[in-house]
Copies of this chain bind each other. A is one copy, B any other.
Amino acid sequence: MAGNREESSKQREPLSRERVLQAAVRLADEIGIDSLSMRKLGQKLGVEAMSLYRHVANKDEILDGIVDIVAGEIEVPIPGQDWKSEMRRRAGSAHEVLMRHPWATMLIVSRANVGPAMLRYVDATIGCLREAGFSYAMADYAWNAIDSHIYGFTLQKLNFPFAPEEYAEAAKSYIDLIPADQYPYLNGMSHEVMDGNHDGLQDFYFALDLLLDGLEKNLETS
């Protein structure tokens, strides 16, 4: 076995920062961010936990890294194009990506996020608003408003405990815990769900369009 390194596939591929981060994203998708440990990540890569430290400084750097990988998956708005549809597309893409990586939103809203993909994403967002005529300050307010909706809506949706098709059935099982005399309105809404009059499905674009329409009016009157 004259070991030609290129051909021998029994030899495991060497580690690298990129391979570590990619594996971390996949593992977090599979088992959740709370269960992701250095030891499990090492195991996934066929390596001891401490070997990872040759390629990343610590676990925090891994978390920063996988957030930036996720940020890189989001469709960026194009400055100069119609701002409303671009911001709408950006928001929808962000929501979709964050639903694909259910652990990512929590990390984003609790870390610095200064990776290159995140900076590019933010720069394009501000740029799209600026080119549409927003001042820097108004662009900041608009960006903050839209991102509040993206993060808040996504977190609530991820935290909702029932699948849409189970919801009516689930309501029947917990209705006794919210008696009408103590919680009349919560009880009433649950009955609407039980009776099939309300499916409880939330539309990401409902509140988003309220915000965009309001921002548009704000832009016109300035």
Q: Which chain B residues border A114 with CB–CB below 8 Å?
A: 177
- CB neighbours (8 Å) of A183 from chain B are 119-120, 122-123
A122 to B186 alpha-carbon distance, docked (Å): 7
Instruction: Give the residues from 87 to 133 in chain A that come closer than 8 angstroms, CB to CB, to chain B.
Output: 106, 109-112, 114, 119-120, 122-124, 126-127, 130
Complex Cα gap A125–B202 (Å): 17
On chain B, the residues within 8 Å of A156 by CB distance are 109, 144, 147-148, 151
A residues 150-176 touching B (CB-CB < 8 Å): 150-153, 155-156, 159, 161
Query: A112 near B147 (CB under 8 angstroms)?
Result: no
Q: A127-B184, A130-B185, A145-B207 are in contact. Are A137 and B215 (CB under 8 A)?
A: no
Cβ of A7 within 8 Å of any chain B Cβ, yes or no, is no
In the assembly, what is the distance between CA of A111 and CA of B106, in Å? 13
Does A149 make an interface contact (CB < 8 A)? yes
Main secondary structure of the interface of A (DSSP, over half): helix
The tally of residues in A whose CB lies under 8 Å from a CB in B reads 57
Assess the A152–B147 pair: CB atoms within 8 A.
Answer: yes
Interface assignment of A210: CB less than 8 Å from any CB of chain B? yes
Q: Which residues of B contact A119 (CB under 8 A)?
A: 178, 182-183, 186
Q: Does A17 contact B (CB under 8 A)?
A: no
Contacts of A147 in B (CB 8 A): 152, 156
Chain A interface residues (CB < 8 Å from chain B)? 79, 106, 109-112, 114, 119-120, 122-124, 126-127, 130, 136-137, 139-141, 144-145, 147-153, 155-156, 159, 161, 177-178, 182-186, 188-189, 192, 197-198, 200, 202-203, 206-207, 209-211, 213-215, 218
User: What 3 pairs between A and B have smallest CB-CB spacing?
Assistant: A152-B152, A210-B214, A148-B152
Task: Enumerate 19 A-B pairs (CB-CB under 8 Å) in ascending A order.
Answer: A109-B152, A109-B155, A109-B159, A110-B155, A114-B177, A122-B183, A127-B184, A127-B185, A136-B192, A136-B198, A139-B189, A140-B198, A140-B200, A141-B207, A150-B152, A151-B151, A152-B153, A155-B155, A214-B214
